[in-house]
A = this chain, B = another copy of it.
Amino acid sequence: HVERHFMAGEIVRDAVMGASDGLTVPFALAAGLSGASVPSLVVVTAGLAEVAAGAIAMGLGGYLAAKSEADHYEKERKREEEEIERSPETEAEEVAEILANFGLMQSEYEPVVAALRKRRDAWVDFMMRFELGLERPEPGRAMRSAATISLAYVVGGMIPLLPYMLLSEVFMALKVSVGVTLLALFVFGYVKGLFTGSRPFSSALQTTCIGALASAAAFLIARAV
């Protein structure tokens, strides 16, 4: 099996996530406003403001979430270490329970428990991984993730907005934006599918549909207001 923590894979995943969101919401907002006959300049203003705000919210939000995960891991690890010092019998029983859940009988798991008890670091690693399901987050990952998502969001957001910035007639810009964005959504959805291992064509359709639905909703709401 391929090593799961392949860093390039994570960067790609963050980029695709950021770009997909960047394509969808600014597109929908711009389309919705155009449909409500808002002047082109205002559409661009709203779109760019949303991209700026969204990129920061996603980027910083993602960074803080990743940092908080790292802090959480360290806190839980310290707690496990203390529990092992303070009540080794209880912790040994927890190991036994985990192994017993795999249908192992006492005679089968007892040597493992005994072995772990002799190796403190391995014992803590075991508890962290198999009891709490936590893995040590890679340092610098929070930063990288945030930067990738933010940048991808901006790039994604520019795609539906460029037509409004380049074309003076707002309904023409709307049509070009729709065409370009749906195409981009399809391509991104396909790439996403390739990376997650789900059927790329289906993923492409789904991503495109979300974009279409989001913009339809924005359109209807904008007309209603």
Contacts and interface: CB of A to CB of B under 8 A. Distances in A.
Contact of A28 (B49, B108, B114, B119): B49
A163 interface: no
Given A24-B53, A49-B221, A103 B131 contact: no
Contacts of A33: 42, 45-46, 49
A15 B115 CA distance: 43
Interface centre among A4, A25, A38, A215 (most CB of B within 10 A): A25
Interface in A1-22: 1, 4, 20-21
Interface residues of A, number: 75
A149 interface: no
B53 A45 contact: no
A51 B53 CA distance: 13
A45 B56 contact: no
Given A21-B61, A217-B53, A196 B46 contact: no
Identify whether the interface residues of A are mostly helix, strand, loop, or mixed: helix
B103 A115 contact: yes
A102 B125 contact: yes
A78 interface: no
Contacts of A162: none
A44 interface: yes
15 contacts: A20-B61, A21-B57, A25-B25, A25-B50, A46-B222, A49-B219, A52-B217, A56-B214, A60-B213, A61-B210, A102-B116, A112-B112, A129-B130, A130-B130, A133-B133
Closest 9 CB pairs of A and B: A28-B53, A32-B49, A49-B218, A52-B217, A103-B122, A53-B214, A108-B115, A56-B214, A53-B218
Interface of A: 1, 4, 20-21, 24-25, 28-29, 32-33, 36, 38, 41-42, 44-46, 48-50, 52-57, 60-61, 64, 68, 71-72, 75, 99, 102-105, 107-109, 111-112, 114-116, 119, 121-122, 125-126, 129-133, 135, 196-198, 203, 206, 209-211, 213-215, 217-222, 225
